[in-house]
Amino acid sequence: MFSLNVISKEENKSKNAIADLKGYGLSITNKPDIVLCLGDFGTLFRAENKFPAIPKVLIKDQEICKNEEDEKFKKIIEKIIEKKYKINEYPKLEADNLVGMNDIIIRNRDPGTALKFTVKIDNRYIIRELIGDGIVIATPFGATGYFNSITRKKFSKGFGIAFNNPIKRAKPVYAGTESTISLAVNDGIALVCADNCKDIIELSSGKSISIKRNDKNAKIIALK
């Protein structure tokens, strides 16, 4: 029998879920085969950060069991036990010590002051100098999130670069999954973050950072 772990933003939901899982004879360990994420996408991102590359099931708030008799939760667990699922893999991004399943965001530290920055893909200039709030580099998993809210576009392969609130219009740019994307700050101070991670990198004028594919894919379980 395989082992699991449970990640939730609410302790009571975790306890209820763990009790149900033990009722099925499933073990809860810190080296799980599958991780149950009870909540929203923020919970999923936290779980991926704690258990990278371990297959995960996202069970949204409205599906989470309120008691041991919850039929939806039972059906989800039974499908996992019966292996009625497939695993979809998604590339992730990294920038120094930050890893993003959704995106890497680089933006102005001071909301009242724009950034001047240069963007390259594989050492090739894409934007020599742009003035704006920054950029969002998204994975296909994150293509419907912040990237879409800026560009109103989606994509399914490679990585997408959206230019956030630029003075001069700039269409989104796309890069292959093996490409390296770099941003250099020409003037201003930028903050670099990933998903909902609390760690932030600060880039001062003259500094740069490279963003590339992480060596571990995110694995999301889709129930049949």
pLDDT digits (tens, 9 = 90+) for 72-88: 788 889 999 999 999 99
CA distance 75 to 42: 24
Instruction: For residue 100, name the pLDDT band (cuts at 50, 70, 90).
Output: very high
pLDDT band at 63 (very low <50, low <70, confident <90, very high): low
CATH architecture of 3-83: 3-Layer(aba) Sandwich (3.40)
Q: Worst-scoring range by mean pLDDT, 4-8, 88-92, 195-199, 201-205?
A: 195-199
Residue 68 has pLDDT above 50, yes or no: no
Name beta bridge partners: 154. none
**On the CB side of 151, how many CA atoms lie within 13 Å of its CA?**
23
C-alpha span between 149 and 24 (Å, rounded): 42
The dotted CATH code for 93-215 is 2.60.200.30
Share of the chain above pLDDT 70, in %: 96
| This model's pTM is above 0.85 | yes
Section 183-199 average pLDDT: 95
Task: Give residue 194's pLDDT.
Answer: 97
Strand pairing class (190-194; 103-108): antiparallel
Mean pLDDT of the chain: 93
- Which pLDDT does position 66 carry in this prediction? 52
114 vs 25 pLDDT, higher one: 114
Residue extents of the structural domains in the chain: 3-83, 93-215
| Residue pLDDT, tens place only, 121-171 | 999 999 999 999 999 999 999 999 999 999 999 999 999 999 999 999 999
- Ranking 19-33, 62-76, 181-195 by mean pLDDT, the lowest is 62-76
Res 30 pLDDT > 60: yes
3-class secondary-structure state, position 175: strand
